[in-house]
Amino acid sequence: MRKDKEIASKMRKEGRSYDEIYKSLHIPRSTLSHWFSKEAWSEEVRARVSQAAEERRAVRLAILNKVRGEHLARAYETARSEAARELAVLKYDPLFISGVMLYWGEGAKDPKQGVKFTNSDPKMVRFYTRFLLKSCRIPVEKIKAHVLISEDHEEKTTRAYWIKITELPRENFTKSSLIAGRHAKRRFGWGVCTITVSSTYFKQKILEWIRLLPEELLEEAYYENIA
């Protein structure tokens, strides 16, 4: 038996992977596979190596998840602290107050979802979009819109209507969806528009505003400071 094959066989039986053997002996993986594929012990070793690799991957994944979780926890705490500081400055701003209250009533509250606001009232959608742009200083390219329209409306015209209402660029609108079927007594006017900001950091901020602002508005001291 070739000396390098003998050494490689010994390493493989010890549970070394093809990568480890290649790095040590510089024998191509294809050669190793050819040598060992017909050996009686090869399948048992392959299963053992695969299981060991899977266990290592599981350990690495657990470590990464822990690190990611700790990082997110710190980031979310930073977001909530930032929200509290901004609230102290913005709590008398009508646009900010109204925007937070709109989201409190109509926005998605699940922390795992993006900042998503859905409504069929054009003025409400316009007001909320302006809240994102002016009060929250969200870059316009980060704001996406989606329109749900009924079959008795033309998609191009409906999309153009919501572009005008929201004052968002055309490219910010994703492909529209249709409401299946028609109902004589139920109309959605110009459809339903959903405004989304995909940011878990901003989601933490707006949830913190929803928590803190009502408490401020219920305090008598708040109104004493209004000129």
d(CA 188, CA 191): 5
| 71, part of any domain | no
Q: Which residue range(s) make up the domain with 212?
A: 93-224
Q: What's the CATH code of the domain at 109?
A: 3.30.1330
Q: Is 26 a domain residue? A: no
204 belongs to a structural domain:
yes
Residue 167 counted as domain residue: yes
In a domain, 192, yes or no: yes
Edge-first strand listing for the sheet containing 177-179: 115-119, 192-197, 143-150, 177-179
Q: Quick one: tokens of 181?
A: 């079927």
* 191 is a domain residue: yes
Q: Does residue 63 lie within any of the structural domains?
A: no
Query: What is this structure's pTM?
Result: 0.67
Number of domains in the chain: 1
Q: Is residue 143 part of a domain?
A: yes
Q: Over its length of 227 residues, how does the chain's per-residue pLDDT go in tens digits?
A: 567 777 877 777 777 777 787 777 788 878 877 777 777 667 777 777 677 777 677 777 776 666 666 777 788 899 999 999 999 999 999 999 999 999 999 999 998 888 999 999 999 999 999 999 999 999 999 999 999 988 777 888 899 999 999 999 999 999 888 876 555 445 557 889 999 999 999 999 999 999 999 999 998 888 887 76
